[in-house]
Structure 1
Amino acid sequence: MLPLYLTEKDNNFSFEISIHDIKNDVYPHGHSFLELHYVFEGQGIEKINGIEHIMKPGTFAVIFPYQIHEMHIIKGSEVHLYNLCLSAKTLFDQDEYGLVMNKLLFDIDLNARTIYDMDEDTSEKVFTLLSEIHAEFKEDEIWRNFMLKAKIVELFILFDRYRRSLVAKENNSLRTTMGNDTWSIIHYVYKNWNTNITLKSLSQLFYLSEPYISTSFKQCLGISFHAFLRDLRIENACSLLTSSKMSITDITYEVGYLSYSTFVRVFHARKGVSPAMYRQIIKDNAVKT
């Protein structure tokens, strides 16, 4: 089965937390946002980019954008977990919050593991903090977003400290497969997706070979450079089709395509309908609701 790709709900999406009660298997899927989850009851097996890990109380997983993961629930069992989703924008923001999250997240070795079984003391702290985040998220109190951001940073600091303590015990040096050059390239593409970006132009800009850049994207994100750029453009096109009255021709050029026919072909291949039909479907659904 080909994996599904989930995308951010809208341009205002920043973070969302919920409790999932999982009774059935979760099919392979990836998404354009960051996801983490913490299991507090039940057992199962999770695969992240094909690597299996047993899920049990105390299991904490970080799923990076475009990584493929799936879950298999033990028959007769249920898995209960906190699920926290963070917009990709969070990882690229240049404010203090974004820079802290960037540092905490991208020290992680994506080719090693991003799923951990926490000890009892750390598990208790993580569970308490996630409960507080969940309660705060459901309310609409003054300073809500500031409080949520502070608690989310605290959560990732707890995770980072635990991860580093394990590395120290295993006598391994902290390292990252997403080197500074690769992360700089991904950051650049994310910020300039609607310009005429190619592997050749990136190679010239960053003084790195095209094969190196191509391989780095695949290793770090589990998706090729061209697929990453295509998905950024198509999802932003969907947003414009939904929220603006721009013509499809104007949207074509706005999201970085130089050819109307190419845009329509790529859009149909990803969404199963033409841009015009997509806009009409969204409009009809809005009327029904």
Structure 2
Amino acid sequence: MSPVFENNDLTIQSIRCEEIKYFPPMYHKHAELYYVVEGEMDFFVDKGRLTLKKGDLCLLFPYILHSITKQKAIVEIVLFDPFVLKGFADILQTKKPNNPHVLSEQVPPIVPLLIQKIRENYSSSSDSAKELSNAYLIATIGEILKVIELEDVSYHSISTTQRILVYCSNHYKEDISIEQISSELHVSKNHISHIFTTVLHSNFRDYINHLRIMDAKELLTKTDKSIIEIMLECGYMNQSTFNRVFHKLCGVTPSAYRNLNKN
């Protein structure tokens, strides 16, 4: 399963993921929790890199630039709107971890079980199970906050990189271009290209394609929409281009991917 977390109406999403080939840099209003069950994974967070090993976790507060650069692990992932945390919501909005990486020996023993309970109840269709999922999440974050140091943060001084990512996140399904971003954000085209190359380790078109194909994968496995409908919804106007990009990133055609992964 691909961790596609771009639904602005989302409150909680919880999955158990066994493979992420590449997860492009993201910058959004949701918080994310990663817990490594087996193996290890590499993170890019803000301006640094982290390696999470078995039993480690990473708690990312909202509006923290991050990506997954390598994963050979089974990982529990929870993405959530901070406002479901009630009393902890203000903390996630005004502070951030000094270090989001919590080593296995520092992880409270109850946390892995709580994370499992979040996913089990999130997967249920009943309203009571959804409420339980929220309750388990609140308990999980409460336990984690006991073992991490926090620092104040201001979101008023957003960086150029973050402004570019926000713009891409809002417009990647459109006919977006570097020229358009340059005009809208008043940043030179050369500087935008430089940021993609040196900070995001990608080029602009590959980054947009990754965002689109992540959406396409989710739609192929979660809906009965036709491939043409999915192609158009994800921002492609030409089916041969869609098929070529999808095959390049996923190793199979869209129809084959659907047949292999449809629940």
> 1:7 and 2:8 equivalent?
no
- The residue identity in structure 2 corresponding to 1:96 is F
Distance 1:273 1:135, change over 3 A: closer
Distance 1:130 1:240, change over 3 A: closer
Specify every segment of 5 or more residues in structure 1 that has no aligned partner in the other structure, as ranges. Answer: 1-5, 19-25, 72-80, 165-172
- The residue identity in structure 2 corresponding to 1:14 is Q
Number of aligned residue pairs: 235
- The residue identity in structure 1 corresponding to 2:2 is T
Deviations 1:17-59 (A, max 9, x none): 69xxxxxxx99954469552379xx9x98755696869587x5
Cα drift, residue 201 of structure 1:
1.1
Conserved 8 A contact 2:76-2:115: no
Q: What is the alpha-carbon root mean square deviation over aligned residues?
A: 4.8
Distance 1:277 1:182, change over 3 A: same
Q: Which residue of 1 aligns with 2:189?
A: 210
- The residue identity in structure 2 corresponding to 1:162 is E
- The residue identity in structure 2 corresponding to 1:256 is G
Normalised to the residue count of structure 1, the TM-score between the two structures is 0.57
CA distance in 1, matches of 2:189, 2:35: 35
Cα drift, residue 151 of structure 1:
3.2
Q: Which residue of 2 aligns with 1:37?
A: 35
Higher relative contact order, chain-length normalized (CA < 8 Å, sep 6+)? 2
CA distance in 1, matches of 2:77, 2:33: 4
- The residue identity in structure 2 corresponding to 1:260 is Q
Cα drift, residue 258 of structure 1:
3.1
What is the percent sequence identity of the aligned residues?
A: 19
Q: Which residue of 1 aligns with 2:224?
A: 244
- Which has the higher Rg, Structure 1 or Structure 2? 1
Normalised to the residue count of structure 2, the TM-score between the two structures is 0.61
Deviations 1:50-100 (A, max 9, x none): 96869587x5445875332457xxxxxxxxx9953134xx4xx6x735986
Deviations 1:176-199 (A, max 9, x none): 9x9444334323322322111112
CA distance in 2, matches of 1:154, 1:244: 39
